[in-house]
């Protein structure tokens, strides 16, 4: 595995040096391999799409799946490109519609959770927002099982800042940094472990277990919560729209923050269904089993 990792890292470095026009030729080849030859999680993807959009025909489902795998291939190549991408290029390719919402929270001395889903290129968004925010930036991560590729992705994520928080250390880390004005980036649509399921919601036509960590910590530490909708405008270009969930979490009702997040994410996915990570085993736990 060590040898494989170093071979991968070398070729990834070479690929990252290529201009985008050549990178997307590689992405087209990768799409053909992933979708047609390997069939990477194709059954999972198609089942997720059919269950989420029961009103769509099989032809429509397959069309969305193909577009998703094209986007997925682009995202892989774009993540590799992080190693060599410049700040100027990143700012050009990830544009915010209304970043002033976050800036206004900063002026009011409000710490903030920036929640998002596995839409577009969430890795680019994390790097971009850390470049432009006045806050001390943090990002909550779920460590990968493979230690070599965990090291690789961590190096990419810390290109411009080094404040990654393992998900189980979130509360303690934020308490230790309570005197700093900070934002915390979190991809909040992951599936909790079966033993950690405390709440279910209806998401994309299915009963779905959800994490409550963002809601609980925002209430405990009085963090504002916003949602970032990142959509692919064209290859290599993304537009981000920020929407406030709450600036006063302590006055919200139980599950209100969590439910608002999932309604906003659901709306974003329905507008551009190929933009979400459909190959993720999001519904591996069933409510009847739990």
Confidence at residue 290, expressed as pLDDT on a 0 to 100 scale: 52
Confidence at residue 132, expressed as pLDDT on a 0 to 100 scale: 76
Q: Is residue 271 situated within a structural domain?
A: yes
Lowest mean pLDDT among 77-91, 143-157, 187-201: 143-157
Q: Are residues 78 and 149 in the same domain?
A: no
What is the number of other CB atoms lying within 10 angstroms of the CB of residue 211? 20
Average pLDDT along the chain: 94
- Which of 37, 53, 84 terminates a domain? The answer is 84
Q: Are residues 77 and 104 in the same domain?
A: no
pLDDT surpasses 60 at 24: yes
As a whole number of angstroms, the distance between CA 89 and CA 265 comes to 27
Instruction: Please state the φ and ψ torsions of residue 178, each to the nearest 5 degrees.
Output: -65, -20
Q: How far is CA 22 from CA 14, 26, 90, 183, in A?
A: 12, 7, 17, 35
- Which of 27, 59, 84 terminates a domain? The answer is 84
As a whole number of angstroms, the distance between CA 288 and CA 196 comes to 16
Q: Are residues 39 and 176 in the same domain?
A: no
Q: Is residue 55 situated within a structural domain?
A: yes
Q: Are residues 124 and 175 in the same domain?
A: yes
pLDDT one-digit tens code per residue, 26-46: 999 999 999 999 999 999 999
As a whole number of angstroms, the distance between CA 104 and CA 161 comes to 22
What range defines the domain where residue 18 resides?
Answer: 1-84
248 vs 179: which has the higher pLDDT: 248
Output the CA angle 36-38-41, nearest 5 degrees.
100
For the whole model, what pTM was predicted?
A: 0.94
**289 band by pLDDT with thresholds 50, 70 and 90:** low
pLDDT one-digit tens code per residue, 103-119: 999 999 999 999 999 99
Q: Is residue 286 situated within a structural domain?
A: no
Confidence at residue 221, expressed as pLDDT on a 0 to 100 scale: 96
pLDDT one-digit tens code per residue, 137-169: 999 998 888 888 888 999 999 988 778 999 999
pLDDT surpasses 60 at 17: yes
pLDDT surpasses 60 at 61: yes
Q: Is residue 284 situated within a structural domain?
A: no
Q: Are residues 254 and 135 in the same domain?
A: yes
Q: Are residues 112 and 195 in the same domain?
A: yes
Average pLDDT of the segment spanning 16-33: 97
Confidence at residue 129, expressed as pLDDT on a 0 to 100 scale: 87
As a whole number of angstroms, the distance between CA 106 and CA 135 comes to 7
Confidence at residue 229, expressed as pLDDT on a 0 to 100 scale: 96
Confidence at residue 269, expressed as pLDDT on a 0 to 100 scale: 98
Q: Are residues 54 and 74 in the same domain?
A: yes
Q: Which residue has the tokens 């997307």?
A: 24
Q: How far is CA 155 from CA 87, 149, 161, 163, in A?
A: 16, 10, 10, 12
């Amino acid at each position: 595995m060590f040898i494989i990792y170093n071979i991968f890292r070398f070729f990834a470095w070479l690929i990252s040096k290529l201009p985008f026009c050549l990178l997307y030729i590689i992405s087209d080849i990768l799409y053909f391999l992933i979708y047609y030859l390997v069939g990477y999680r194709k059954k999972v993807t198609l089942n997720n799409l059919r269950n989420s959009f029961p009103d769509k025909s099989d032809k429509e489902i397959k069309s969305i799946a193909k577009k998703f795998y094209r986007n997925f291939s682009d995202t892989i190549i774009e993540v590799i490109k992080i190693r060599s991408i410049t700040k100027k290029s990143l700012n050009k390719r990830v544009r915010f519609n209304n970043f002033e919402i976050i800036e206004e929270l900063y002026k009011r001395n409000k710490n903030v959770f920036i929640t998002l889903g596995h839409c577009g290129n969430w890795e680019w968004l994390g790097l971009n927002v850390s470049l432009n925010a006045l806050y001390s930036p943090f990002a909550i991560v779920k460590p990968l099982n493979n230690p070599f590729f965990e090291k690789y992705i961590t190096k990419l994520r810390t290109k411009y800042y080094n404040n990654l928080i393992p998900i189980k250390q979130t509360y303690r880390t934020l308490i230790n940094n309570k005197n700093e004005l900070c934002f915390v980036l979190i991809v909040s649509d992951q599936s909790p472990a079966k033993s950690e399921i405390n709440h279910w919601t209806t998401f994309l036509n299915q009963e779905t277990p959800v994490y409550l960590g963002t809601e609980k910590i925002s209430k405990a530490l009085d963090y504002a919560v916003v949602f970032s909708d990142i959509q692919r405008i064209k290859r290599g270009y993304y537009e981000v729209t920020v929407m406030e969930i709450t600036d006063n979490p302590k006055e919200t009702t139980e599950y209100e923050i969590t439910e608002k997040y999932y309604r906003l994410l659901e709306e974003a996915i329905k507008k551009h269904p190929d933009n979400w990570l459909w190959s993720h085993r999001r519904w591996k736990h069933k409510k009847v089993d739990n």
